[in-house]
C-alpha cells in the first residue's frame, strides 16, 4: 500500500517540484540576462530600450528592484502617462512601500495630486525629500484652483508628431528644434528613441496663422542633434547646441557642446566650437543678452550644485570671463535649463528642483542687490504636472513661446504660444 502511494503520488510530486525548480532557475538566468542588457542601455541614456528589457526581466521574475527601475526610467524619459498605466496594470492593488515614492511621483505627474499625497506621506523618503514633494503637491492643487488668465495655445500647424522644442526669435521668424523626419537621414536615439533634432523656422502670416516650417540651414543641420539657439542683436551670429559622441564601454554616448557661426554673403558659415566648452562636461541652451556682452548657458560642470546648473559669463575687451554659477537661489541638486532674460531684467528658466506642479516647470527671478531672488513659479496654465520648458518672450507684444509635453498635444513635445493678460 505504501509503495503504491509513494509511486502514484509522492514520486510525481517530486518530479513536478524538480521540473518547477529547474524552470525557475532557467527563468531567473534569463531575467538576469535581460536586466544586464537593460542596465547597459540605461548607462548610455537609451531609456526606451532599457525599459523594454527591464520589463522582460520583471515578467519572468517579479523583483521589486526591477519594478523600481521601470518606474524611475518612465520618469527619466518623461513618459509619465505610460508609467502610471504600467504601475496600475501590475500594482493597482498591491503597491509595496519601497515603491510608494515612485508611484506617488507618477500620480502627481498625471494630475492626481491628492492620491499622490497619501503615498508620499507613508513612503520611505527622507524627511526633507518628503517635505519637498508634499509642498509641491499642495502648491499644484492651489495653482490649479487659482489659474492665471493667460491664454495658452498649441501651435498645431507648426508642431509635428515628433518632438518640437526650444523656440527662439530670428528677425520676424521663430526658429526651433525638431526631431521630425527631414531630408537628413537620422537614426533614432536618446531617452525616447526618436530621430535627431534639427533646426527649423516658421513665421506668421498676415492673418496670424503660421506657415509650414522649413529647414533653417543645411550648413548648421547635421546627423547629430542641433537645438537651443540664440542670436546676436544684428542676427549675424548664432550660438547653438549640438550633440557629439564619445565612446563609453564600447558604445557611442551623446553629449552636448556649444557652437558659433557667423552669417556671410547671406549664408551661415561652417560652425566652430564656442569657447565655453571642455572635454568633461556638457554645455547647452545658450542665451545672449545685454549688448551681446552677457552669455548664459546650462552645464553639468562637476563643481555645480548637482544635475545641470545655470552659468553666466561677461564679455569685455579681453574676451569672455570664466563661467559664474548663478548660485543656490537658482540652482538646485536637480536640473536647471533654458535661461532667458527679458528686456525688463527678469530671468526665466526651467527646473525640476524647485517647488512645482510636476516634471519641469517654468520660473522667473531677477537680480536684486547682487543676488538672484527666490524663483517664482509661473503657475497654471503655463505650468502643468508635465514638462514645461524653453520659454522665450517678446516684451513689446506681450507674447511668449515655450515647449511642453502636456496631454492633447500633437507630438511628444509641442510648441505653445502664451498671450499675457
Q: Does residue 2 carry a pLDDT above 80?
A: no
Q: Is residue 238 domain-shared with residue 383, that is, in the same domain?
A: yes
- Which tens digit of pLDDT belongs to each residue from 345-360? 999 999 999 999 999 9
Three-state SS at 155: coil
The answer to whether position 240 is within a domain reads yes
The answer to whether position 340 is within a domain reads yes
- Cis, bond preceding 381 (omega within 30 deg of 0): yes
Cβ atoms of residues 265 and 223 within 8 Å: no
Q: Is residue 377 domain-shared with residue 234, that is, in the same domain?
A: yes
Whole-number pLDDT of residue 183:
55
For residue 397, what is the enclosing H or E element? none
Task: Identify the CA nearest to 262 among candidates 274, 278, 245.
Answer: 274
The average pLDDT across 100-106 equals 96
Q: Which of 122, 145, 168 is the last residue of a domain?
A: 145
- Which tens digit of pLDDT belongs to each residue from 133-173? 999 999 999 999 999 999 999 999 999 999 999 999 999 99
The answer to whether position 17 is within a domain reads no
Q: Which of 129, 145, 161 is the last residue of a domain?
A: 145
Cβ-in-10-Å burial (0-12, 13-18, 19+) of 169 comes to: middle
The answer to whether position 19 is within a domain reads no
- Which tens digit of pLDDT belongs to each residue from 104-127? 999 999 999 999 999 999 999 999
- Which tens digit of pLDDT belongs to each residue from 30-82? 999 999 999 998 988 889 899 999 999 999 988 899 999 999 999 999 999 99
Q: With both helix axes pointing from N to C terminus, report the angle between 80-91 and 100-108 in degrees, rounded to the nearest 10.
A: 130
Least confident of 58-62, 174-178, 298-302: 58-62
Least confident of 74-83, 249-258, 282-291: 249-258
Cβ atoms of residues 47 and 62 within 8 Å: no
Residue 66 C-alpha cell reads as 526591477
Cβ atoms of residues 308 and 325 within 8 Å: no
The answer to whether position 112 is within a domain reads yes
In this prediction, residue 21 has a pLDDT band, given cuts at 50, 70 and 90, of very low
Statement: the pTM of the whole predicted model exceeds 0.75: yes
Cβ atoms of residues 294 and 314 within 8 Å: yes
Task: Identify the CA nearest to 116 among candidates 351, 389, 359.
Answer: 359
Q: Is residue 120 domain-shared with residue 262, that is, in the same domain?
A: no
Q: Is residue 160 domain-shared with residue 130, that is, in the same domain?
A: no
Q: Is residue 166 domain-shared with residue 198, that is, in the same domain?
A: yes
Cβ-Cβ contacts under 8 Å for 103 (sequence gap 6 or more): 71, 87, 91, 95, 119
Q: Which residues of 340-368 are buried (b: 16+ CB within 10 A; e: fewer)?
A: bbbeeebbbbbbbbbbbbbbbbbbbbeee
Q: Is residue 210 domain-shared with residue 174, that is, in the same domain?
A: yes
Cβ atoms of residues 244 and 254 within 8 Å: yes
For residue 210, what is the enclosing H or E element? none
Q: Does residue 22 carry a pLDDT above 60?
A: no
Q: Is residue 114 domain-shared with residue 65, that is, in the same domain?
A: yes
Q: Does residue 387 carry a pLDDT above 50?
A: yes
Q: Is residue 386 domain-shared with residue 403, that is, in the same domain?
A: yes
Query: What do you get for the CA distance between the two ends of the chain, in Å?
Result: 92
Mean pLDDT of the chain: 88
Using H for helix, E for strand and C for coil, what is the string for 365-388? ECEECCEECCCEECCCCCCCCCCE
* Domain CATH for 67: 1.25.40.10
Task: Give me the number of domains the chain comprises.
Answer: 2
Query: Quick one: CA dihedral 207, 209, 213, 216, positive or negative?
Result: positive
The answer to whether position 314 is within a domain reads yes
The answer to whether position 82 is within a domain reads yes
Residue 67 C-alpha cell reads as 519594478
The answer to whether position 22 is within a domain reads no
In this prediction, residue 249 has a pLDDT band, given cuts at 50, 70 and 90, of low
DSSP state of 6: I
Rounded to the nearest 5 percent, the helix, strand and coil shares of the chain are 30, 30, 40
Can you list the pairs that 49-55 forms with residues at least 24 positions away whose Cβ atoms lie under 8 Å? 49/193, 51/77, 55/86
Which one is predicted more confidently, 280 or 204?
Answer: 204
Cβ-Cβ contacts under 8 Å for 370 (sequence gap 6 or more): none
Whole-number pLDDT of residue 101:
96
Q: Is residue 140 domain-shared with residue 156, that is, in the same domain?
A: no
Which one is predicted more confidently, 11 or 169?
Answer: 169
The average pLDDT across 297-317 equals 94
Three-state SS at 79: coil
Q: Is residue 86 domain-shared with residue 141, that is, in the same domain?
A: yes
For residue 147, what is the enclosing H or E element? none
Which one is predicted more confidently, 62 or 25?
Answer: 62
Q: Is residue 178 domain-shared with residue 229, that is, in the same domain?
A: yes
Residue 340 C-alpha cell reads as 532667458
The residue to which cell 510636476 is assigned: 358
* Domain CATH for 276: 2.120.10.30
Whole-number pLDDT of residue 25:
60
Least confident of 276-280, 297-301, 347-351: 276-280
Residue 407 C-alpha cell reads as 496631454
Q: What is the largest CA-CA distance in the chain?
A: 104
Q: Is residue 121 domain-shared with residue 185, that is, in the same domain?
A: no
Task: Identify the CA nearest to 74 among candidates 39, 50, 97.
Answer: 50
Q: Which of 145, 175, 193 is the last residue of a domain?
A: 145
Whole-number pLDDT of residue 374:
96
Cβ-Cβ contacts under 8 Å for 97 (sequence gap 6 or more): 122, 123, 124
Whole-number pLDDT of residue 287:
98
For residue 207, what are the domain limits?
Answer: 151-419
Amino acid at each position: 500500500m505504501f509503495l503504491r502511494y509513494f509511486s502514484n503520488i509522492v514520486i510525481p510530486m517530486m518530479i513536478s517540484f524538480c521540473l518547477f525548480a529547474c524552470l525557475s532557475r532557467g527563468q531567473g538566468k534569463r531575467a538576469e540576462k535581460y536586466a544586464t542588457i537593460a542596465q547597459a542601455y540605461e548607462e548610455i541614456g537609451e531609456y526606451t530600450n532599457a525599459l523594454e528589457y527591464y520589463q522582460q526581466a520583471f515578467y519572468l521574475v517579479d523583483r521589486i528592484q526591477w519594478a523600481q527601475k521601470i518606474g524611475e526610467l518612465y520618469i527619466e524619459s518623461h513618459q509619465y502617462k505610460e508609467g502610471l498605466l504600467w504601475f496600475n496594470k501590475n500594482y493597482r492593488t498591491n503597491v509595496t512601500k519601497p515603491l510608494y515614492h515612485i508611484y506617488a511621483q507618477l500620480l502627481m505627474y498625471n494630475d492626481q495630486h491628492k492620491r499622490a499625497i497619501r503615498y508620499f506621506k507613508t513612503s520611505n523618503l527622507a524627511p526633507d525629500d518628503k517635505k519637498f514633494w508634499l509642498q509641491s503637491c499642495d502648491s499644484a492643487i492651489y495653482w490649479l484652483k487659482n489659474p492665471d488668465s493667460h491664454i495658452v495655445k498649441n501651435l498645431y500647424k507648426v508642431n509635428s508628431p515628433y518632438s518640437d522644442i526650444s523656440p527662439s526669435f530670428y528677425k520676424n521668424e521663430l526658429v526651433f528644434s525638431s526631431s521630425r523626419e527631414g531630408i537628413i537621414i537620422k537614426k533614432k536615439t536618446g531617452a525616447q528613441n526618436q530621430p535627431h533634432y534639427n533646426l527649423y523656422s516658421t513665421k506668421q502670416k498676415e492673418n496670424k496663422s503660421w506657415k509650414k516650417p522649413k529647414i533653417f540651414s543645411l550648413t548648421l543641420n547635421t546627423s547629430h542633434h542641433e537645438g537651443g539657439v540664440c542670436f546676436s542683436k544684428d542676427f549675424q551670429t548664432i550660438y547653438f547646441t549640438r550633440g557629439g559622441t564619445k565612446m563609453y564601454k564600447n558604445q557611442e554616448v551623446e553629449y552636448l557642446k556649444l557652437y558659433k557661426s557667423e552669417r556671410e554673403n547671406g549664408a551661415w558659415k561652417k560652425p566652430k566650437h564656442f569657447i565655453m566648452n571642455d572635454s568633461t562636461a556638457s554645455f547647452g541652451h545658450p542665451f545672449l543678452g545685454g549688448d551681446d556682452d552677457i552669455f548664459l548657458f546650462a552645464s553639468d560642470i562637476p563643481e555645480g550644485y548637482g544635475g545641470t546648473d545655470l552659468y553666466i559669463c561677461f564679455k569685455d575687451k579681453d574676451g569672455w570671463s570664466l563661467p559664474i554659477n548663478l548660485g543656490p537661489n537658482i540652482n538646485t541638486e536637480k536640473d536647471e535649463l533654458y535661461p532667458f532674460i527679458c528686456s525688463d531684467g527678469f530671468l526665466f528658466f526651467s527646473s525640476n528642483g524647485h517647488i512645482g506642479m510636476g516634471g519641469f516647470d517654468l520660473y522667473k527671478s531677477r537680480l536684486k542687490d547682487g543676488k538672484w531672488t527666490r524663483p517664482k513659479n509661473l503657475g497654471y496654465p503655463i505650468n502643468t504636472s508635465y514638462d514645461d520648458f524653453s520659454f522665450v518672450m517678446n516684451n513689446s507684444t506681450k507674447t511668449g513661446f515655450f515647449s511642453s509635453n502636456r496631454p492633447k498635444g500633437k507630438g511628444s513635445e509641442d510648441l505653445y504660444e502664451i498671450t499675457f493678460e
